[in-house]
Structure 1
Amino acid sequence: MSNSTFRGAVSRRALLATGAALGTLATLSAPIAIAQEPLKVAGIYTVPVEQQWVSRIHIAAVAAQERGDIDYTYSENTANTDYPRVMREYAEQGYDLIVGEIFGAEAEAREVAAEYPDVAFLMGSSFKEDPALPNLAVFDNYIQDASYLTGIIAGAMSESDNIGMVGGFPIPEVNRLMHAFMAGAREMNPDVTFQVSFIGSWFDPPKAKETAYAMIENGADMLYAERFGVSDAAKEKGVLAIGNVIDTQADYPDTVVASAIWHFEPTLDAAIAAVKAGEFTAADYGLYSFMKEGGSSIAPYGTFEGKIPEAALDMVREKAAAIESGEFSVEINDEEPKSS
């Protein structure tokens, strides 16, 4: 499935036109102010909350609820065609903040947000915020810093110099992580090559597994597990894997060397604080996923302590320090990655 097809052929121009047309429906000057304690927060997800990307949002929301900042409920497995309806239902029920991911329903979701200017919407999106919709802020998993560091490790540990990469869809939030990983691997090992494939689904472990099998048959001895199922193939075939967004080493102790972890807590906590302070408005919350903001990290090496080449660990430490200090920036490349 192509990038444009997945997003429902929504272009930036179309979104800007939609925002302009809806501008009269939105309150353009005053940010949203909510006095209620705790906030009523709803999550709307197109996949199960166990899915790695959504699980990070869910975990952060549960933590906020446990400390008393919010009352949280959620809907999972919501089809893109049903997404606007579910948004309206939560808005009508008086929820203060609605969190979710609108990659497959961009224009429709923004229309709903315009209908409820007193509700704050924090949505994962491939597009930027629209000033005509001051109650809708966007975010994304900008964890390219951690992905770059795991690439260094992968480049050092691949003996065949052949790395397989299995992704869901070639959209910016996937592409940028793959490119960062590839850059890190090349930094460590200039001879490394890549097999890149997308399965056209966010949650199809059997398909991801079969795709990974084919890459292993084609010489890959290291896999980038952007989707569930890839690490299963690596485990069964005796090759290594790098995780994405969550740490799965406990499930694959002899397979997953390292993982780039997304921490959604800084993003959600900033939105909660903004709503409570009456300062929530159209903004890009993506920066809260950067490593220097605490939004991403590299997982502990666990069972692979002492097995990773020291040269790679030295480079990881050096680059991580440079990222934290601002001396080094990992390139953000949203273009679709290709096989070598």
Structure 2
Amino acid sequence: MASMKKKVLSVFILLVCVAGFSLSASAEDKLKVGFVYISPIGDAGWTYQHDLGRLELEKNLGDKIVTKYIESVPEGPEAERVIRDLAQSGHDLIFTTSFGYMNPTLKVAKMFPKKHFEHSTGYKTAKNVGTYMCRFYEGRYLTGIVAGKMTKSNTLGYVAAFPIPEVIRGINAFTLGAKSVNPDVQVKVIWVNSWFDPGKEREASEALITQGADVITHHTDSTAPTLTAEEKGVYAIAYHSDMSKYGPKAHLTAATHTYGDFYTKTTQAVLDNTWKSDSVWSGIKEGSIKLAPMNAAIPAEVVALVEKTTKDIADGSFHPFQGPVKDQSGKVVVEAGKSLSDEELLGMNYYVEGVHGNIPK
């Protein structure tokens, strides 16, 4: 009897050990995916949109993966440390989501050649580093149409982060959209030299309103411009996310972008061992760029024009940088019947006609 009990106990212990090993192996088999964020996630903005994509990834591939994010990581040495820590802790796929993470990402990727890295908004790749970006300028053009139709002062304000091609493209596309419906419009720009600084964004917004802007927009991460517009009784067009709850009267719409589909496809490719370094640039056609719901104050004919232009961009019959386009000096930079190539867009370093001021060096 004692011998039988020992056998039963031995079998039980063996089963527990096997079960424990299976659970451990299952956990270890999951692909670890890391995300590095420039600002707090919050409930709106650039980082918020990326985190929505991460959550969609978890929903789609949850039983195959485990994700981890680090938020509010400064660009530079700290970013390199965080990216390296993720690689060292077993993360085989790492998404770095700010322009200034480009060189740190490349540096760490060189140390971990068997890991996969994806950098958002950058232009440098490597064998194990891909890049991805949305065609933000497409949404900017559409919101420019709205701003050009809604302004009464013919002065629009733009709070800008850093003078890199991505931001300059947005300013120019917004201006071209506005001037397509209102040739008298002018766009004033204030640079805050930060992706996320609510204080500076508020100060810049207030300054633009003082200078006569009755519609303001931004290429920064916080809700400060929309909040300021609501307080000052002017209109705002948000960026990254729908920010209407921060300015029910002010918020006209927003140029938004989504990443869930890209994150899912990229992660699945790593799981399938089919991942390859690539430079992905998606827009309205792919569903990456969308406008937030329109404010009821926008006339129906303006909404219809935006919807038509959206379809035209999606099917390729219209390009936001379709000629003729002139720069600030009046020089034609895009001839009639032509449009800018992706290479030309990626290197944009000039303002189009209608933008006031100079690009900081």
The AA in structure 1 aligned to 2:35 is G
Among 251, 260, 263, which residue is 1:256 paired with? 251
Give CA deviations for 1:209-258 in whole Å, capped at 9, x if unaligned: 11111111111111013332111221111000001110001221101101
SS at match of 1:166: strand
Among 272, 293, 299, which residue is 1:300 paired with? 293
Among 201, 204, 221, which residue is 2:214 paired with? 221
- Structure 1 distance, partners of 2:226, 2:211, is 17
SS at match of 2:66: strand
- Structure 2 distance, partners of 1:156, 1:199, is 27
Match of residue 109 from structure 2? 113
Query: Is residue 239 of structure 1 aligned with residue 253 of structure 2?
Result: no
Among 332, 335, 340, which residue is 2:349 paired with? 335
Give CA deviations for 1:53-109 in whole Å, capped at 9, x if unaligned: 122111111121133153111111223211122212111111121011352243332
Q: Structure 1 residues 151, 241: closer, same or farther in 2, change over 3 A?
A: same
Match of residue 6 from structure 1? none
The AA in structure 2 aligned to 1:339 is H
SS at match of 2:77: coil
- Structure 2 distance, partners of 1:37, 1:249, is 42
Match of residue 152 from structure 1? 145
Q: Structure 1 residues 174, 70: closer, same or farther in 2, change over 3 A?
A: farther
Match of residue 21 from structure 2? none
Contact 2:96–2:118 (CA under 8 A) maintained in structure 1? yes
The AA in structure 2 aligned to 1:323 is I
TM-score for the superposition, normalised by structure 2:
0.77
Contact 2:143–2:254 (CA under 8 A) maintained in structure 1? yes
Pairs within 5 Å for 1:161-310: 161-227=154-220, 228=222, 229-287=224-282, 290-301=283-294, 304-305=295-296, 307-310=297-300
- Structure 1 distance, partners of 2:149, 2:265, is 37
SS at match of 2:184: coil
Query: Is residue 84 of structure 1 aligned with residue 74 of structure 2?
Result: no
Match of residue 59 from structure 2? 66
- Structure 1, unaligned stretches of length 5 or more? 1-35
Query: Is residue 93 of structure 1 aligned with residue 89 of structure 2?
Result: yes
Question: Shift of the alpha carbon at 1:293?
Answer: 0.5
Match of residue 43 from structure 1? 35
Contact 1:164–1:196 (CA under 8 A) maintained in structure 2? yes
- Structure 2 distance, partners of 1:43, 1:336, is 33
Give CA deviations for 1:267-313 in whole Å, capped at 9, x if unaligned: 212211221221212211222xx110010111112xx22x2133322
- Structure 1 distance, partners of 2:50, 2:142, is 23
The two structures, once aligned, show a CA RMSD in angstroms of 1.9
Query: Is residue 322 of structure 1 aligned with residue 339 of structure 2?
Result: no
SS at match of 1:267: helix
Q: Is the radius of gyration larger for structure 1 or structure 2? A: 2
The AA in structure 1 aligned to 2:88 is E
Identity %: 30
- Structure 2, unaligned stretches of length 5 or more? 1-27, 322-344
The AA in structure 2 aligned to 1:310 is A
Match of residue 4 from structure 2? none
Aligned residues: 297
- Structure 2 distance, partners of 1:37, 1:160, is 60
Match of residue 11 from structure 1? none
The AA in structure 1 aligned to 2:37 is Y
Give CA deviations for 1:193-218 in whole Å, capped at 9, x if unaligned: 11111101111111111111111111
Q: Structure 1 residues 150, 124: closer, same or farther in 2, change over 3 A?
A: same
Question: Shift of the alpha carbon at 1:336?
Answer: 5.2
Question: Which of 1 and 2 has higher RCO (CA within 8 Å, sep 6+)?
Answer: 1
Contact 1:186–1:192 (CA under 8 A) maintained in structure 2? yes
The AA in structure 2 aligned to 1:40 is K
SS at match of 2:178: helix
